[in-house]
Amino acid sequence: MQRKNAVRVSGSMVDAVNAATRSRLSTEGRALAATIARVMKQTDQCLTASHAIKEIGDIENWMKKTMEFDCKSITASIKNIHQD
């Protein structure tokens, strides 16, 4: 009889520990999923910002080349005028 009671109590204790463990794992799993979602959102924002910065650099390079070309054209025109 005592052995049956001990087995029953032991089984109840194992069940309680398992239930607590499942609950804790479930809670930690939800927290992990939320953290992953937040990191993914931040990564997307960083990639978007990085792309925008690259585009700004591309525009700056284009403007620099355009201004260089314009200055060379103006310089060539002024030289032609003075040569005449």
What pLDDT is stored for residue 12 in this prediction?
A: 83
Give, in degrees to the nearest 5, the angle at Cα 65 between 63 and 66.
60
Q: Which two tokens stand for residue 27?
A: 């809670």
What pLDDT is stored for residue 3 in this prediction?
A: 76
What pLDDT is stored for residue 84 in this prediction?
A: 65
Sign of CA dihedral 28, 30, 31, 32: positive
pLDDT tens digits for range 48-66: 999 999 999 999 999 999 9
What pLDDT is stored for residue 20 in this prediction?
A: 87
Q: What is the pTM of this model?
A: 0.56
* Residues in the chain where the model's pLDDT stays below 50: none
Q: Which two tokens stand for residue 43?
A: 């990564």
Separation of alpha carbons 25 and 48, rounded Å: 34
